[in-house]
Amino acid sequence: MKIMVAMSGGVDSSYVAKTLKEAGHEVIGCYMVLHDKAGYHEKNIQNVRSVGEFLGIKTEILDLRDEFKKEVYDPFVEIYKSGKTPNPCAMCNREIKLGKMLEFALNLGCDKLATGHYVRVEDGLLKVSLDESKDQSYFLANIKPESLKYMLFLLGDRLKSDIKAEISKFSEISNIAKQKESSEICFVDKSYIDILNQHINTKIPGNVVDKDGKIIGKHDGYMHYTIGKRRGFTVDGAHDPHFVTSINPEKNEITVGLKYDLKSTKFSTENLNDFINLGSEFEASVKIRYRSPKVGAKAKVLKNENGDKFLEVNLKDSVYGIASGQLAVFYDEQNRVIASGFIN
């Protein structure tokens, strides 16, 4: 087969390219330039080209900066302005990595697109990886279901330590295995606030209120806060820690409360992305953020006035800090992704 490998310059995608080449496939490596973050791309591109030379494969540099700005960067800014907490990686995987890059691969005559994600596929559904500490099914749960048939995920049954050990055997590319892993948003340097400050004044002080609307303190500007944050604002006469429980951008106001005020058993989602026929209601386990444990849930599938499907979700146990804008991902009993939607 002719297979494109999405290469980041890191150890995982390098291992994927090596494995596919050794299996006899025609492999093309492809690095995406998504933004203009200073000093970000040079080392990565050098690594991709080094691996390409070592394996004897062609490598491509795909400039998707305009598409990334439209589909990920600009929405990232707007979602924060609306008082929500965006999930740019989920947006990018759908529209860019497994969207525009997949289109590029198919236009070059490739049969498949392979990535270095830690995830499995079972019966046409994304499934949690063997190494759950590295599982990336959550970030992939927003992809278009029809794109899955073109995807290859080779690392779902592997351990990260094994991948590093394999690449370390080869002196030509062993430096890649020694690189520090990045868990940050790729286009953010130190803080998301640095990004927002390029487009809007985030430092507009406002009121901190309690759940009854009483003014009890001051804050530095609502975009500095996300649900569950406990620092960076004042609460008059407080003896216990207070946490952000809601954000009102129109009033430049944040509501705070004690930790138990963050507990909830209900939420709704928009932009439903279903991988199976869910019917009118279903039961599943749900994650409300990447590192949160799964919680049992019952969900109703409804339609808004535009005919778009959304979910009303009731949790079997209360959870802390459900944040609008984050992705809710639903899993079946076999740890397979059956649906996702953005919390609102």
Active site residue 89: no
Cα gap 174→167, rounded to integer Å? 6
- Best CA proximity match to 104, nearest among 36, 155, 32: 32
Is 91 annotated among the ligand-binding residues?
no
Question: What are the structure tokens assigned to 251, written together?
Answer: 């009033």
Contact status, residue 283 vs residue 297, Cβ threshold 8 Å: yes
CB 315 within 8 A of CB 308: no
- The answer to whether the annotation marks 11 as part of a ligand binding site is yes
The token pair at 111 is: 């049969």
**172 and 166 in contact (C-beta within 8 Å)?**
no
Q: Is 257 annotated as a binding residue?
A: no
**Among 30, 89, 110, 186, which one carries the catalytic annotation?**
186
Residues 6+ apart with CB under 8 A from 256: 208, 209, 210, 216, 217, 233, 235, 242, 243, 244, 245
Q: Is residue 7 annotated as involved in ligand binding?
A: yes
List the catalytic residue out of 30, 89, 92, 110. Answer: 92
Q: Is 9 annotated as a binding residue?
A: yes
On whether 14 is known to bind a ligand per the annotation, the reply is no
Q: Is 152 exposed, middle or buried (0-12, 13-18, 19+ CB in 10 A)?
A: middle
Q: Is 10 annotated as a binding residue?
A: yes
The pair of structure tokens assigned to 244 is 């952000």
Contact 65, 31 (CB under 8 A): no
Has 137 been labeled as part of a binding site? Answer: no
Q: In the β-sheet with 215-219, what is the strand arrangement from edge to edge? A: 215-219, 206-209, 253-257, 243-248
Kindly report the CA angle at 249 between 243 and 253, in degrees rounded to 5? 45
In the residue annotation, 92 being an active-site residue is answered as yes
Contact criterion met (CB below 8 Å) for 290 and 138:
yes
Catalytic residues: 92, 186
Annotated binding site: 6-13, 32, 116
Annotated binding site for ATP: 6-13, 32, 116
